[in-house]
Structure 1
Amino acid sequence: MGEDVTVNRNFRGTGLAGLLLSCLVLAGCNSTDLSTPDVTNARAAGFVDIKPGSEEEFILNVGRRIYFEQGSAVVTDEAKMTIVRQADWLKKNKGWLIKVQGHADDPGSESANKALSTKRAEAVLNALADQGIPRKRMWVKGYGIERPVTDCDEITCKSQNRRVVVNLREEFDASAPGR
C-alpha cells in the first residue's frame, strides 16, 4: 500500500508540472506578435507581379481549361462561362494569338480520340468566335491521348484529360493551317 501512495504522489507532481508547462505554452500563444506577417492570403511564389494582359494573368484570373463529358464535344453551360471570361479578356488583349488544344482520354482507338479532341478544340474555337474573337487569331490542334494530365484508371481522374486548353501564343506555330 505504501508503494501506491508514492506512485500516486509522483504522478500528481508530474501532472501538475505538465499542467503548469501547458499553461505557460498557451500563454505564449496568446501574445500578439505583430512582427510575424500573415502569409495565409499571400500570393504564390513566382506570381508576385502579375502584369495586366500577361499570360500569367490569363492563366490565374481567367482560366484556360475547359472540360468535356466522356465521348462528347458539346460545350457545357459551365464551360460557356469560362469561354465568356476568356473572350472578354482576349478582346482587351488583342495582341495574343490563340492555339486551342484538344485532348481526350475516352474509350476507343487512338484515331477516334484524335478526331474527338479536334472536335472539342473546334467547338471551343467556334464558341470564342461567337463571342467576337476573330477566327484569324485562332487555330486548333487535336492531340488525342498524346498529352495526358494524369495517368490513372478512375473515371474522375480520367475526366481531367477530357479537356481543351486555350493557349496564348505570340506567333503562329507549325500546327497553324496555312502558316
Structure 2
Amino acid sequence: MEAVATPDVTNAVAPGFASISSGSEEDFIINIGRRTYFAASSATIDDTARMTLDKQAEFLRANPDWYAKIQGFADDPGDTAANRKLSQQRADAVMAYLVSKGVERNRLWAKGYGEDRKVRDCAELECKAQNRRVVTNLREERDS
C-alpha cells in the first residue's frame, strides 16, 4: 500500500486572507493597526502608540489616495464635556503626530466623540482602558 503525502501547510495563508492586497483598507486594519490607546486622563502618545502611528504614517505616505478620519474616544469616568474635550485632544495629538511623520495635513481630519461609542461597557478600570483610544479610519474622500 502506497502512503499518501500530507502537504506541509505550516506557512500557508489562512483562508480568507490570501486576497488582501497591499495598500487596501483590509491591509491597513490587519497588518498596520488602526487603534492607539491612552492612559487615563491623558492625550500623551506613549511608545506603544508611537510604534503603531509610525506604521500608519508609512502606510499613508505610501498610499496617497487614502484620506484618514481620526476619531478620538474617552472612557466614562468624569464629566461628559471634559471627556469630549479629552477625546478631541487625543485625536488632535494623533493627527499632529502623523503630520510630523510626513502625512499631508489636508488628508487628515480629527473628531472627538467623548465617551460615546464605547468598545466595552464595563466597571473595571482595566476594561475601561479599551475605551481610551483613537481609531484611524481610512476614507476614499473627506467626510464630517
Please say whether Structure 1 and Structure 2 have the same fold, judged by a TM-score greater than 0.5.
yes
Partner of 1:111, secondary structure, is helix
Partner of residue 66, structure 2: 96
The within-5 A match list for 1:1-179 is 34-35=5-6, 38=9, 42-173=12-143, 175=144
Partner of 2:69, secondary structure, is strand
User: Which structure has the larger Rg?
Assistant: 1
Q: How many residues align?
A: 142
Q: CA deviation at 1:172?
A: 1.0
Alpha-carbon distance change, 156 to 94 in structure 1, aligned in 2, over 3 angstroms: same
Letter in 2 for 1:81: M
Q: CA deviation at 1:44?
A: 4.6
Alpha-carbon distance change, 37 to 62 in structure 1, aligned in 2, over 3 angstroms: same
**Structure 2: runs of 5 or more not aligned:** none
Letter in 2 for 1:118: Q
Alpha-carbon distance change, 110 to 41 in structure 1, aligned in 2, over 3 angstroms: farther
Distance 2:14 2:82 in 1: 39
Stretches of 4+ aligned residues off by more than 6 angstroms? none
Q: Is the 8 Å Cα contact of residues 117 and 143 (structure 1) preserved in structure 2? A: yes
Q: CA deviation at 1:145?
A: 1.1
Partner of 2:31, secondary structure, is helix
Distance 1:171 1:43 in 2: 32
Q: CA deviation at 1:47?
A: 2.8
Q: Is the 8 Å Cα contact of residues 103 and 143 (structure 1) preserved in structure 2? A: yes
**Structure 1: runs of 5 or more not aligned:** 1-31
1:59-116 alpha-carbon deviations (Å, 9 max, x no partner): 1111110000000000001111111111011110000001000011042121111111
Distance 1:91 1:108 in 2: 37
Letter in 2 for 1:151: D
TM-score when normalising by structure 1? 0.73
What percentage of aligned pairs have identical amino acids? 53
Partner of 2:45, secondary structure, is coil
TM-score when normalising by structure 2? 0.90
Instruction: Supply the RMSD in Å over aligned alpha carbons.
Output: 1.8
Partner of residue 15, structure 1: none
